[in-house]
Structure 1
Amino acid sequence: MSSFTFIPRSVKKKTAPFATSSNLPGSSVPSSRQREVSSTTPVEQTSTLARPRSERVVSTDQNASSETLSNSVDSKGKSRETNPPGHPRGDNGALPGGPTNSNVKPTATKTPDLDELAGLVCLALSDYQIWADTTLRRKIDWGPSDDSMHEDESTENPLADDSKGYIPLDYLVHHSPVFQHVNTVYPETLLVKAIRAHAVELLDVRLVLASEETTYGNKKSKKSEVQTGYQVRRRTPPIEKSKSQWDNLTIYLENIPAHLRSLPGVLNLVSNLLPPPSTGSTSRLQSITFPAHHRDHPGSIPTCKGFALVTLANEDDAQHMLHSYPWEATRDGPSSSTTQTSATIELSEEASNMRRDAHRFGLRMLLKSRWEKLKAEYLLYRQQLVDEINQYQESEVLQKQTQQNTGGPSRDQTSASHTMPKVEAVSTSKSVADPSAEASQHDIVPPIHANSAFPSGCLIFARNVDTETNKTTLRSLFSQSAKNADTRSPLPLASDGIDYVDYMKGMDNASPILSPLLTSAFD
């Protein structure tokens, strides 16, 4: 009876095998023999794993596939996920080409403009945003002793304390209305770099680390309640203004250049259109909002469709923008204020390109209060038109029902009465050259109404026209006959007497009142 080696299931593979005589220098056992034996005895398997990695590389395809299979199976025979050679995992832990989470915004693929990122953070912590967003005001840490920063009367600046006025930068990135219009999620380190490079005079940044409070005895250690990570605050307290004051500082922009129709684009546009400031230009913009369009889905975030509402910090900048790009602007050239500003102040290349694009697209601005009045007038006028159309349709329906019930004129007669104007019969016994006859003909011209098929008294139908002719020849012919016509015609004639000629073959219609002007010319 032959015996074989029994291996219990509880025995696990050693993670750090000891070196044996099989992997010592000068070992007489070949490597292929070691691989075959390692599948049966644990001692020789240990000696194989202890060999250097370069010695365990197999040149044959069969052995390579078996080695790959063994690497993808754990000690209990279950498959484990491995990365294919040359295909590293992505940032979200998924293999390239695999399923991804569509709800997560894509990260920045290229380094954006740091000045633009600093402007977004300043816009998220502007005076207007703090005034309009109550959640943002509650989220800002004003200190444990004060319920509001304005209750501290001991100092002029409530933010003099180093621990007051901070807000987590992560909260701004994920909850601020400013960053909701940006489709890319930027890392906090990049935003901090932008703040320290372009907005250090406006914002202050600090890094809060996790501090653990450890005690001994029956009490357990716990972490502090302070949120860790980057925190940012304003260096100056926000200025409170009323709604009417903010409305006077808000302007409506229309015909924004196509390549700048986004929140960062509008921010860059307005920053370059403003005159050079004495301080940072990012603090002069308080808010940028996009009015909802009638084609937007309910509950969706409005996007820029060529118009926006921009709130500025002071009235001088608002008046400068309104005078530089007025609402009733002409395309003959830029306004006088824009020309004087460009001549007296040396602008950068980017600012010059922005102003050139603004003039090329016809950028114009209007105060928000005036824009709201025009919008209300437009909505009222549109409602009046809708009411008139509905009233006319209802009257038409009632008229048709009345005619059907009372046995009125048929449908063909009703349509004919709408298409052809009612003209009283003119006696043919009177001569056309008679002035009294012409005057009487002129007096009976019916008025033009909405149901008229054509303007009465100025349209002439000509028939039996040569089929080989064209509109140009007919116009020359009729204009010559109109010049030779009697100067005592009831209607004044233009230089050639012809406004429009439409030629169609096979037109046999009755002639209107002014047909004798042409018929007498050919007699």
Structure 2
Amino acid sequence: MSTGFQFVPRKLGKASQNQGRTRRLPAGATVVSSRETVESPKSSIGASEEADGFEPREAQHYGTQPGGWGKGKEKETDMSIPQDDYGILISLALSDYALWSEPDLRRTIESNSEGFIPLSFIFQHSPYFAHISNPSELLAVKSIRALTSDVGALEVRMLVSSPSRANWYKKEVGNVRDVLGGHEVRRSDWVDMVERVGGTSRDFWEKRCVSLENIPAAYRTIPGIYRFATIILSSTDSHLPAVQNIILPAHHLDKPGDKPKCKGFALVTLFRTEDVDRILEEWPWKPIRHPPVPTGSVADLKGKGSSLDEEDDDDESVDAEAYGDDSREEELRVEARILGFRTLSKRKWDELKDEYLAYRQRLLDEAASFDSHSHSQSQPSTKQQPGSRTRDDGEEDGRQGSTKRKRSVEDAAEKAPPSQTRQETRKQTPLPPPSTLNGSGSQPLTIVSPYPPNCLLFVRNVHPSTNKTTLRTLFSRTLTASAQNGSDESKAGGGDTDGLDYVDFTKGMDSCYLRVATPDHNSLLVEHFATFPIIQRDGLDAEGAKLLSTSSTSKGQEGQPIEVEAVTGKKEDLYWDKVPEKIRRAAVERALRGAVADGGRHIEDGDEDKAKRKRKRKKY
């Protein structure tokens, strides 16, 4: 009787065929089958990097899902990070600053007698790889081999070992963490780097940190900033990389855990103080100026770039070997100067940050106090206090102040150049920011005013379902009716318009802002709604209903009457600051035209009849 089987069972045959089958991978993937892995030596440290070996992390990188090698719905390969960037990120992850700031990394390197550290440890613990999904060891090894001397010398080796027998028949080999093997990396100066890092401190690195602003758009990534700083420094010392750490400050709108994005500025830590002094001297922190960008490509501006360097510092001698022979570096310097690239030390950057935060908090406190004060002042008092001024006295003073303001506006208009010259002047001289006004309303209205003062109203208690068209009709009718009244005819200002420029209303709100043409329209609306309170019964009510009774009980039953309040001071500055300059300039022009027309009728009180006749001639 024969001792061996003459046939192979069907189930075992299929299993052996499946075990010996080689799976198809995308181009570039190197995965050895289980049978070939078993025949390899059990442990070979420092083996040839070109030999085929089992690399467990690559199966997950090349588009495999945890469920296995499925068809059709395989996840696309994450190629968001180029191959050349791996070497730069690993160099930053193993820099002296990283060893000083991360004790776990330093202890892991010290635990190895040869100074090697697994790439998988860097991928899992380094902050530079925190937002990179499925980093590839294969691409990292290729990038490390292609590193230039200015990035820093790194050494890499591959570990080849047979996996445990329990892992031979597992389907998800790429997700098994207990499989040995992979790549390890170390710095070429690993012998003395730990001792050198131990002698540094926080103050040591703070003095070597600089702020870079207006970085060119093509370099607004961490590897790009590394290349940009390396080219700008043009370091000739290749023993250590010049850049040790790069931080992208978070934006105030970023949420915790969001991927940091470069918005044109970054904090870069250098290793040598000579590089810090050089970059601060060559690219100083100056006020941002926007020179006209020359026509032509950047490559055509090489000669202009050298002249820019000579204009900034005539006494500075430029090494021809470092600058003149490298056209790429020259083009980058020209582009950086056009974009206004500048640097600042970390100490001064912290001072400016504290100053800005204090200024921001002061503005918020002032706005909050102004809102509370204006709200308390808007509540009318029913009792007349002893020694207080009556409303008629306030109106009389308001008329006198308005007359003085109109005369000053008329004097400014007479001294103004012709319309064509005035337009050219406006193009050359932009409007100052609204914060330059003192907000008291005493600032004279001129052609260079940032906005028309006393031309803004805040309206409360409008119907939430109304719209801009209905509100404009409602307030325009009020202005027209008041202008037709003989007593208010002198206040109508600019009889060719209703005086309402814009209704700033958001649907669903019970309040809005009104922009009027002149301060006279401002006071006219405030006085009218204070004297004749009306309510808006529905969203399409463009006429308003008169309030039957002024008692609080009737107001609660019928609804709150529309309240109109003049906006002045800091609140007025903050509102106009959000309005585009083109709209503010047009509002100033309309206010000037209305003020000049009013001034022509109010120069002398005795010439009222003559002013009326002049206005009629304008209509015809």
Shift in alpha-carbon separation, 1:343–1:186, aligned structure 2, 3 A: same
Q: Please list every run of 5 or more consecutive structure 2 residues that lacks an aligned counterpart in the other structure.
A: 1-8, 15-61, 166-177, 292-307, 406-436, 450-489, 497-587, 609-613, 615-620
Whole-angstrom distance in 2 between the partners of 1:99 and 1:389 = 56
Question: How far apart, CA to CA, are the structure 2 residues paired with 1:336 and 1:256?
Answer: 21
Q: CA deviation at 1:279?
A: 1.3
In the other structure, the counterpart of 2:237 is 278
Does the aligned pair in 1 maintain the 2:283–2:342 contact within 8 Å? yes
Change (3 A) 1:465 1:382: closer
The answer for the alignment partner of 1:20 in structure 2 is: none
**Code of the aligned partner of 2:105:** L
Paired with 2:226 and 2:443, the residues of 1 have a C-alpha distance of: 53
Superimposed CA distance per residue, residues 399-432 of structure 1 (whole angstroms, 9 cap, x where no aligned partner)? 233635658999999899789836689xxxxxxx
Contact 1:418 1:452 in 2 (8 A): no
Question: What is residue 380 of structure 1 aligned with on the other side?
Answer: 358
Deviation string 1:293-342 (CA, Å, 9 cap, x unpaired) is 11111232321111100000010011111111111166673433897436
User: Moved runs in structure 1, 4+ residues, more than 6 A?
Assistant: 11-16, 211-214, 407-420, 422-425, 456-459, 461-467, 512-516
Give the 3 Å change call, closer, same or farther, for CA 396–243 of structure 1 in structure 2. same
Q: CA deviation at 1:197?
A: 3.4
Matches within 5 A, 1:107-506: 107=79, 112-113=83-84, 116-143=85-112, 163-180=113-130, 183=132, 185-198=134-147, 202-210=153-161, 228-236=181-189, 237-238=193-194, 239-240=197-198, 241-279=200-238, 283-328=241-286, 333-334=308-309, 335-336=312-313, 340-341=317-318, 343=320, 345=322, 346-401=324-379, 403=381, 421=401, 450-452=439-441, 455=444, 502=590
1 or 2, which has the higher helix percentage?
2
CA 1:400 to 1:352, structure 2 compared with 1: closer, same or farther past 3 Å? same
State the Cα RMSD in Å.
4.8
Whole-angstrom distance in 1 between the partners of 2:86 and 2:222: 11
Conserved in 1, the CA contact under 8 Å of 2:83 and 2:143? no
Q: Is contact 1:462-1:511 (8 Å) kept?
A: no
CA shift digits 1:418-468 (9 cap, x unpaired): 89836689xxxxxxxxxxxxxxxxxxxxxx952317517999x9999998x
Q: Which residue of 2 aligns with 1:435?
A: none
1:106 aligns with 2:78: yes
Displacement of 1:226: 10
The separation in 2 between residues aligned to 1:418 and 1:347, in whole angstroms, is 73
Contact 1:403/1:409 (8 A) holds in 2: no
Cα distance 1:510–1:299, how it changes in 2: closer, same or farther (>3 A)? same
8 Å contact from structure 1 (residues 118, 199) kept in 2: no
Q: Structure 2 CA distance, aligned partners of 1:357 and 1:424?
A: 54
Aligned mates of 1:338, 1:227 — CA distance in 2? 61
**1:185 to partner: Cα distance:** 4.9
Cα separation, 1, equivalents of 2:589 and 2:329 = 52
CA separation of 1:398 and 1:205: change in aligned 2, threshold 3 A: same
SS at match of 1:204: strand
Letter in 2 for 1:289: I
SS state at 1:401 partner: coil
Report if aligned partners of 1:463, 1:508 keep a CA contact under 8 Å in 2.
no
Give me the whole-angstrom Cα distance separating, in 2, the residues matched to 1:514 and 1:230.
90
Per-residue CA deviations over 1:70-92 (Å, capped at 9, x if unaligned) read xxxxxxxxxxxxxxxxxxx9554
Q: Deviations over 1:350-382 (max 9, x none)?
A: 322322221121111000110000110111111
Counterparts of 1:56-135 in structure 2, within 5 Å, are 91-92=64-65, 93-96=69-72, 98=73, 100=75, 106-107=78-79, 112-113=83-84, 116-135=85-104
CA contact (8 A) 1:167 1:231 kept: yes
**What stretches of structure 1 of length at least 5 have no aligned partner?**
1-10, 17-88, 144-162, 215-224, 426-447, 468-499
TM-score for both structures, normalised by structure 1? 0.54
| Deviations 1:62-108, CA, capped at 9 Å, x for gaps | xxxxxxxxxxxxxxxxxxxxxxxxxxx95543434x3748xxx7136
Identity of aligned residues (%): 29
8 A Cα contact 1:108 1:185, kept in partner: no
Instruction: Give the distance between the partners of 1:363 and 1:506, measured in 2 at CA.
Output: 46
- Match for 1:107: what amino acid? M
Is this contact kept in 1: 2:162–2:180, CA < 8 A?
Answer: no
CA offsets 1:129-187 (integer angstroms, 9 cap, x no match): 111122322333434xxxxxxxxxxxxxxxxxxx3322111121233112335x47552
Counterpart code for 1:371: W
TM-score between both structures, scaled by the size of structure 2: 0.47
The answer to whether the 8 A contact 1:421-1:452 is kept is: no
The AA in structure 1 aligned to 2:89 is L
